Structure 1
Amino acid sequence: MVKKIYVIVFIFTLLVGALPGISAYADSTTTAKNPIIWADVPDVDVIRVNDTYYMTSTTMHVNPGVPIMKSKDLVNWEIVNYVYDILAANDKQTLSNGQSLYGQGSWASSIRYHNGKFYIVFASNDIGKTYIFQTTDIEKGPWEKFELAGGVYHDMSLLFDDDGRVYLVYGAGTIKVIELTSDATAIKEGGMNKTIIQNASAPGGTGGLGAEGSHIYKINGKYYIFNISWPSGSIRTELVHRADAIDGTYEGKIALRSGSNSNSAGVAQGGIVQAPDGKWYGVLFQDYGSVGRIPYIVPMTWSQDGWPVFGDVNDTGIPAELSKSWVSSDNFDQRTDKVGAYHTEVASGENDYNGSNLGLVWQWNHNPDNRYWSLTDRPGYLRLTTGRTSTSILNARNTLTQRTFGPESSGTIAIDVSHMKDGDYAGIAAFQQNYGFVGVKMSGTTKSVVMVNGSSGSAVEAASIPLAQDIVYLRTELDYKNRTDKAYFYYSLDGVRWASIGNTLQMAYTIPHFMGYRFGLFNYATKTTGGYVDFDSFKIDDKLSGSNFDTNLKYLQVNGTQVSGFNPSIYNYSIDLPAGSVPPQITATANDPGATVSITQATTVPGTASVTVSRDGLQTAVYTIQFNTPAVVAIEAETAADNSVNAYVYGNANGHTWSLVDGQSTKAMLFGPDNGYAQSGTDAASLAADSKLGYKINFATAGTYNVWVLTKTPDFNGDSVHVGLDNQYKFTANGIHGVSGGQFKWANLSGNNGGVFGGATLSVTAGVHELNFWGREDGFIIDRIYLTTSDATTDPVWPSVEPKVPAASLTADSSVKPGSSFTVGVSLDNLKQSVYAQDLTLTYDANVFDYVSTVGANNNIQVVTEDKATAGKVRLITANIGGVSGTSTPVLNLTFKVKAGVQNTTGTIATTQAKLGVAPEGTVIQAELSSKSIAIGKIEVVVDKTALTTAITNAQGLYDAAVVGTLPGQYPQAAKDALGVAINTAKAVKDNSSATQAQVDSATAALASAVDTFKAAVIKEVSADLNKDGVVDVGDLAMAAYYYGKDSASADWAAAKIADMNNDNKIDITDLAYVATKIVN
């Protein structure tokens, strides 16, 4: 066994290092900041029993289910038990016969304590039942299980009333109540069963998510029901309703509508709890992208008239120092205690106790099969054995999970794969519907490390690297900072040197799973069962480590030219070449000078080349370059005017037909006359009455073809055409004027880009087919037609009918950014003889560009002379060692830079002389010249309004929640008005597209200052301890009565005003009543 002392040390580091997502605090005067748990713990419900808090949460499709969480301070939580091990064992729970319960299972539990017993009630959406579990020992069990008749009671909340009656409040949009028996084991026959709030969403606004997530309490004789709503155009909002009777008339209001400093999504949904010191807190949660739904503790007070008032969502207000963590590294040693969850017997024996006790941070995806996992078969290891075959990790049994966490987290495993079987996959996943994993794949007797990306809806093997050993280390890292939501994958052969593998997983919180991403340890079979793997350790960290060294290519070149669209993190490329092409030569350079680059060249076209990068035994990256020969059909459109067997014009639509006009090359076909006619129908009768072009084509190659046309459109009222195959309508391409702009331009009618929409490719079998065009809008001209199986977005190259002459061609980007450097490539094209030297002169707009330097396209191209004395011109004399020839050979790369301050213009670079030296003859060829026009964009000034937008959202939430009045917790009208003015001023800056960064920053600071001023204006609760003896009693009431009737005009007001409880400059019955209530309380 690998020594595991480092893991134990690491766990201790986690505890004192505030993982996950909670700050550690040095002393009790500092308060804990939200979120208290930066991990997926949704639908929280909390109670306090003496000095201990207990909390439950939704766990849906993972088991054991409904965790029991314990805390002494509301900040530090640990899992101490679960309610049940599994609920049932049907096809959904066991991932059988194509079924699952992702996003279903147990939802929104309610926890209560009454007369020495704990009660937890929840509904299971997949089973369609509501259960209530009871126990006297919530941390150890055992549990009793009862089923409530009537099916699912949505987002219910349990209430034990003072008179011994028991109620369940539930619903979505409409809130209902149903009465239970006094022992809370069943629905009470003839008991209360009615709607109590018809439209619970109304206080928050209209539309969107209806009010749900009920939490009911009876406090000081009143019934309070808390719900969440999500009105249209707003954020998640906490609502509260109250009434004097449980079925009385409820009045409602917004309790909290606020995002946090780190996320504008509303903090809402949950309940409230009172601490031993009398303070109240809301326990709510916030949606935070792919990490899930994360809990917040929000301070709460009560207004004078008995409404809850929530405070700052960013600060719990609780002095606390972190001592517990929600997640844990694990050596997979046996726990002493068995989990005290309710046990469900399964006839197959798959849920029988197997003698192994996992840590409580772990939960299985769906039901585990306890026959196929163990901590005892090899002590100190978690063994996962395949018990059935699966098609992916999503339907595999026995995937062991625990929560990932923010803002950063990583999970690392050490795994022994020596007993895997053919078709097995084992490793660690970032687990959700759009999953990704790094693992070991067994193919026959060969092992490989693979990265699989499942974000597309199917498992895509993004990388595969041979593995020649049995113990391997795998890691997934997750970045949740600023909602980045990306996962990265790594492997190591020794646990020290790490290499990245595959691509980046863009994580997404999907509703089908309805759960934040989890670490998933898995082993599943696709062919044969019985293989097993042993997990030696699982290690978590709260930071991203990445690779130890750069593992990718710096350059990837084809015949000396960088591959178009090359990105070091993209490993697969496809290049189209003409039929009969000589296989290109691949060259590559790694970023890491110590890395080894191995290249396997393609031997044929079509064919594949590959580049492997490795170092110190780690194969770090594999790039593949696929050379394709796309099928091409090229047709001159005017051949239809001949009305031959193979090409023809047919039909007339209201005087409109296809006719011959001048084209760009020779002639073209116009659908005219151009007088505003349109024929939109695509049914058989409409097309039969239309004018049609028909071209019969003998397709040598079956495939999916893009339809390109060289076209000219008059305007957006003459830029669409119907396209068909074999006289059957296929699609209508629109918006072609966005490409043409009144000029002859190539437009891909199938491509849906450049403004073209509505297009589609044509699936064609080999043999004779007829391509059809029907007129739709008049004025549309087709000059040439080009069908190709290539998906290239560059304009088609029309097959030449004349011999091509040698040319010195320029390549460059058509547009560049102001101040940027860019490359202009020079290639020698159409060479039948071997060229060994060239004398080239290039000119450039010296008021737009600065010339920088020139290098050969490869080491065999040597720049002998560089004459750049004259601004706007450079002469280059170069030699080609070994000579160059062929269709197109890159020879030079010139670097230019846009001059400082130049923007919104176009500059030209051109070859004005190109003499090529041929050997051994020693003759000189004058090559055809070339030029490139390059557009320079506008200097963009980016103004970041993110902080201002967040500040406005938070300030607006504060404003909306503020109550005007003279009571504690309320605000003066003038203070609220001033905040409103500040918010509107900030909004004006945010909405001003011309605002500068300085103005935005100033507005942000001003609004922050206004918020601070507003918070300081809150009316504080006045002490009724008038005699300062530390208690409020009749002595204090006597003092208030003594000064009764005094006001600010009284001679002894300086002494009397101590009894002015509401600061209205007079002593009256309101002040006496206030002191009296404090005596009672």
Structure 2
Amino acid sequence: MTKINNPIIPGMAPDPSIIRVGDVYYIATSSFHWNPGVQIFKSTDLANWELTASVLNKGEVNLRGTNTPAGIWAPHLSYDPRAKRYWLAYSHMLNMAGREFNSDSYAMWAEDIHGPWSEPIYLTSIGFDPALFHDEDGKHYVSILEWETREGYQAPGHIVIAEFDLNEGKIVGQWHRVTQGFTSRGCAEAPQIYKYKDKYYLLLAAGGTGYAHGVELGRSENIFGPYEPHPSGEPIITSSPRHLFSLGNPDAGHFEMYNPSSIMQKAGHGSLVQTQTGEWYIAHLMSRPVEGTLLNPLGRETSIQKMHWTEDGWLEMKDGSNVAKMEVEGMTGVELEADGISHNVFDDFNQEKYDLHFLTPYRDQQAAWVNTVERPGYLRIHGENSLFSQIHPAIMATRATSLHYEVQTKVEFHPDHYSETAGLGLYYDSNNWLYVHLTHSESEGTVLYVLQAKLGQRIELVHHYIPVPEDTAELKIIYHSGIASILYRFGDNGDWQAFVENIDVLYLSDEGVNGEPGEIGGFTGLFNFIGSVDAHQHDSFADFDYYGVKNY
């Protein structure tokens, strides 16, 4: 029997939504303030997942000015076999101030997972985490969390379901409140409807997005409920199985629910799929904190568990427990790919299109500021706003997928002002990053320099700078469990030289950025990037010869 090792998609890949069409599986994940929005991963064996597409790649959403952790939340994939259409529902979280949580939800469709996708169809602004269900009679339904803002009412709200006319783009009838949450953990969200043997099943994320996270299940003979809870009274999937009463708590880190017996933490927010072999699996998010800490630089990753139906019609993990595992039994009779999928990244920019893994925070990727055409064989990035900007940063980044790796590049840059920079770095959001770069010194010419942002504070490593001959340098960052060391070399194939060693960047993690006490500051994860800044005349550009990430 083959074994699947978790996480199946390492690095920032939260809120996975899984479907099967034929013998091919697809997972969509949240993208928050990153463009292109909503990444789609593809697999044939449930173990090896390849990034194959993105959905929001034509300016459908404006993410400029997005505060952490708003943006694109909880995409839900579905397939309508009658119309032979893929559907994607998602929320655009616009504002989280005052816990008002202004969110607009949409749906899009395509006849091919790679697109073209339709224009977004407006669903509702009642809450967030929408999902579509296509019933056997041809009717369609939307389930979503109705966000509650009133003092003294159920927090964070109720799960509601309504029939939706996908052709007309409107609600049919009214919203039906179906549950306040199935267990005492509360914070029920991300509702998804499934049908099994003539009963409707409602799958929920619960317990908040922290260490108490879990997957809950209820069932009903009517799609609008009432839904009876799972007889265990507990989540069917979690990393922290001990009982918790937090009903009414809108969300929290719940650091007290850390499970010291498990590598995997925060298992929750699941999505079900039935295989071509008749077996059932659930894709769900998880995290792996740095040893000895409660900090998760890689953010929330995607894992999978094997499930089965009990004789009395309830779903549970194959081993009968509810504790998510790092190793899972694979599909019967399906051999895993021999070499598996490498999560290393390398692009020498010799093709017209750069690697699909590159994402950009807050703004769209447009040829006017990033392209391989102006200088073939290089990625040219025209400098714009500073890295603190949430409007027009010129950043090309990839998800960090290991706690031990190195990232490097070679950059040619000809600055003539100290406000012009180009280089390599680590990035969480506009307030939190590390940046080694070439810039202009009025006394030294082009120099290598380091800037850091921590919780919005600008930090200059003023005692570390070195002249750069011929305006060209290779740069490397070695990352090890929250500690970064910067190296450089000049000329071809020279020895790497240490520049700045052992920088504490552990704060570049979900729990280390901008959070209130007891809360989680972000839901994304660490990225590696190349980029350029021109706060002078917007007339400079940097040419990157290659970009590579090697995991250990």
Q: Which TM-score bucket, shorter chain as reference?
A: 0.7 to 0.9
Alignment partner of 1:307 out of 311, 314, 319? 314
Give the direction of change, closer, same or farther, for the CA distance of 1:464–1:62 in structure 2 (3 Å limit): same
> Does residue 1:329 correspond to 2:320, yes or no?
no
Max Rg structure: 1
Q: Paired residue for 2:304?
A: 297
Q: Paired residue for 1:597?
A: none
Q: Paired residue for 1:193?
A: 175
Displacement of 1:528 in angstroms is 2.5
Structure 2 CA distance for aligned equivalents of residues 293 and 37 of structure 1: 10
Q: Paired residue for 2:517?
A: none
> Equivalent residue of 2:297, what SS?
helix
Residue 123 of structure 1 aligns with an amino acid whose one-letter code is: S
Deviation by residue 1:299-336 (Cα, 9 ceiling, x = unmatched):
1111111111114522121252343334521111225x
Give the direction of change, closer, same or farther, for the CA distance of 1:290–1:252 in structure 2 (3 Å limit): same
Matched-pair contact (CA < 8 Å) for 1:437–1:489: no
Structure 2 CA distance for aligned equivalents of residues 391 and 359 of structure 1: 22
Displacement of 1:86 in angstroms is 4.7
Residue 110 of structure 1 aligns with an amino acid whose one-letter code is: H
> Equivalent residue of 1:239, what SS?
strand
Residue 237 of structure 2 aligns with an amino acid whose one-letter code is: L
TM-score between both structures, scaled by the size of structure 1 = 0.42
Residue 296 of structure 1 aligns with an amino acid whose one-letter code is: S
Q: Paired residue for 2:158?
A: 174
Q: Paired residue for 1:229?
A: 206
Give the direction of change, closer, same or farther, for the CA distance of 1:448–1:182 in structure 2 (3 Å limit): closer
Q: Cα RMSD (Å) of the superposition?
A: 2.5
Gaps of 5+ in 1: 1-28, 336-356, 544-1081
Deviation by residue 1:40-62 (Cα, 9 ceiling, x = unmatched):
10010000001001110100111
Q: Paired residue for 1:575?
A: none
Displacement of 1:149 in angstroms is 4.7
Q: Paired residue for 1:122?
A: 90
> Does residue 1:358 correspond to 2:354, yes or no?
yes
Deviation by residue 1:472-498 (Cα, 9 ceiling, x = unmatched):
011122223xxxx33332222245422
Give the direction of change, closer, same or farther, for the CA distance of 1:119–1:89 in structure 2 (3 Å limit): closer
Q: Which is strand-richer, 1 or 2?
A: 2
Structure 2 CA distance for aligned equivalents of residues 52 and 34 of structure 1: 19
Structure 1 CA distance for aligned equivalents of residues 460 and 196 of structure 2: 58
Alignment of 1:535-934 (within 5 A): 535-543=544-552
Q: Paired residue for 2:496?
A: 498
> Equivalent residue of 1:194, what SS?
strand
Displacement of 1:87 in angstroms is 4.1
Displacement of 1:394 in angstroms is 6.0
Displacement of 1:526 in angstroms is 2.5
Residue 367 of structure 1 aligns with an amino acid whose one-letter code is: R
Q: Paired residue for 2:71?
A: 105
Alignment of 1:502-513 (within 5 A): 502=500, 504-508=503-507, 509=510, 510=513, 513=522
Q: Paired residue for 1:477?
A: 478
Q: Paired residue for 1:401?
A: 397
Displacement of 1:541 in angstroms is 0.9
Matched-pair contact (CA < 8 Å) for 2:344–2:548: no
Q: Paired residue for 1:727?
A: none
> Equivalent residue of 1:469, what SS?
helix
Q: Paired residue for 1:426?
A: 422
Alignment partner of 2:336 out of 293, 302, 320? 320
Q: Paired residue for 2:97?
A: none
Give the direction of change, closer, same or farther, for the CA distance of 1:212–1:231 in structure 2 (3 Å limit): closer
Structure 2 CA distance for aligned equivalents of residues 180 and 42 of structure 1: 26
> Equivalent residue of 1:504, what SS?
strand
Structure 2 CA distance for aligned equivalents of residues 440 and 154 of structure 1: 42
Gaps of 5+ in 2: 95-101, 146-155, 241-258, 289-295, 319-323, 514-519
Give the direction of change, closer, same or farther, for the CA distance of 1:449–1:104 in structure 2 (3 Å limit): same
> Does residue 1:45 correspond to 2:46, yes or no?
no
Structure 1 CA distance for aligned equivalents of residues 273 and 423 of structure 2: 42
Matched-pair contact (CA < 8 Å) for 1:69–1:79: yes
Residue 328 of structure 1 aligns with an amino acid whose one-letter code is: V
Residue 380 of structure 1 aligns with an amino acid whose one-letter code is: G
Structure 2 CA distance for aligned equivalents of residues 164 and 397 of structure 1: 45
Displacement of 1:449 in angstroms is 1.0
Displacement of 1:215 in angstroms is 2.2
Structure 1 CA distance for aligned equivalents of residues 54 and 209 of structure 2: 37
> Equivalent residue of 1:535, what SS?
strand
Give the direction of change, closer, same or farther, for the CA distance of 1:456–1:128 in structure 2 (3 Å limit): closer
Give the direction of change, closer, same or farther, for the CA distance of 1:217–1:149 in structure 2 (3 Å limit): closer
Deviation by residue 1:275-322 (Cα, 9 ceiling, x = unmatched):
111111110111330111011110111111111111452212125234
Matched-pair contact (CA < 8 Å) for 2:30–2:38: yes
Residue 176 of structure 1 aligns with an amino acid whose one-letter code is: V
Q: Paired residue for 1:71?
A: 43
Displacement of 1:82 in angstroms is 1.4
Displacement of 1:408 in angstroms is 1.3
Q: Which is helix-richer, 1 or 2?
A: 1
Structure 1 CA distance for aligned equivalents of residues 274 and 188 of structure 2: 24
Give the direction of change, closer, same or farther, for the CA distance of 1:477–1:467 in structure 2 (3 Å limit): same
Deviation by residue 1:1015-1062 (Cα, 9 ceiling, x = unmatched):
xxxxxxxxxxxxxxxxxxxxxxxxxxxxxxxxxxxxxxxxxxxxxxxx
Q: Paired residue for 2:249?
A: none
Structure 2 CA distance for aligned equivalents of residues 231 and 417 of structure 1: 45
Give the direction of change, closer, same or farther, for the CA distance of 1:310–1:525 in structure 2 (3 Å limit): same
Matched-pair contact (CA < 8 Å) for 1:438–1:452: yes
> Does residue 1:256 correspond to 2:268, yes or no?
no
Q: Paired residue for 1:412?
A: 408
Structure 2 CA distance for aligned equivalents of residues 332 and 262 of structure 1: 41
> Equivalent residue of 2:368, what SS?
helix
Give the direction of change, closer, same or farther, for the CA distance of 1:456–1:512 in structure 2 (3 Å limit): closer
Q: Which one is further off, 119-128 or 232-241?
A: 232-241
Give the direction of change, closer, same or farther, for the CA distance of 1:232–1:363 in structure 2 (3 Å limit): closer
Alignment of 1:941-960 (within 5 A): none
> Equivalent residue of 1:156, what SS?
strand
Structure 1 CA distance for aligned equivalents of residues 9 and 3 of structure 2: 15
Give the direction of change, closer, same or farther, for the CA distance of 1:82–1:496 in structure 2 (3 Å limit): same
Structure 2 CA distance for aligned equivalents of residues 486 and 394 of structure 1: 26
Displacement of 1:365 in angstroms is 1.5
Q: Paired residue for 1:460?
A: 459
Give the direction of change, closer, same or farther, for the CA distance of 1:416–1:273 in structure 2 (3 Å limit): same
RCO higher in 1 or 2 (8 Å CA, sep ≥ 6)? 2
Matched-pair contact (CA < 8 Å) for 2:264–2:287: no
Structure 1 CA distance for aligned equivalents of residues 61 and 165 of structure 2: 29
Structure 2 CA distance for aligned equivalents of residues 426 and 456 of structure 1: 22
Displacement of 1:231 in angstroms is 7.1
Residue 470 of structure 2 aligns with an amino acid whose one-letter code is: Q
Matched-pair contact (CA < 8 Å) for 1:428–1:437: yes
What is the percentage of aligned positions where both structures have the same residue?
A: 24
Q: Paired residue for 1:519?
A: 528
Displacement of 1:393 in angstroms is 6.2
> Equivalent residue of 1:454, what SS?
strand
Give the direction of change, closer, same or farther, for the CA distance of 1:300–1:87 in structure 2 (3 Å limit): same
Matched-pair contact (CA < 8 Å) for 2:381–2:542: yes
Structure 2 CA distance for aligned equivalents of residues 247 and 456 of structure 1: 44
Deviation by residue 1:588-639 (Cα, 9 ceiling, x = unmatched):
xxxxxxxxxxxxxxxxxxxxxxxxxxxxxxxxxxxxxxxxxxxxxxxxxxxx
Q: Paired residue for 1:671?
A: none
Structure 2 CA distance for aligned equivalents of residues 232 and 144 of structure 1: 31
Matched-pair contact (CA < 8 Å) for 2:343–2:551: no
Q: Which one is further off, 502-511 or 400-409?
A: 502-511
Structure 2 CA distance for aligned equivalents of residues 451 and 395 of structure 1: 22
Structure 2 CA distance for aligned equivalents of residues 461 and 48 of structure 1: 50
Structure 1 CA distance for aligned equivalents of residues 391 and 433 of structure 2: 12
Deviation by residue 1:488-543 (Cα, 9 ceiling, x = unmatched):
32222245422333351322323555310101111001322211110000111113
Structure 1 CA distance for aligned equivalents of residues 417 and 534 of structure 2: 8
Alignment of 1:250-289 (within 5 A): 250-253=227-230, 254-258=235-239, 263=263, 265-288=265-288, 289=296
Structure 2 CA distance for aligned equivalents of residues 232 and 467 of structure 1: 45
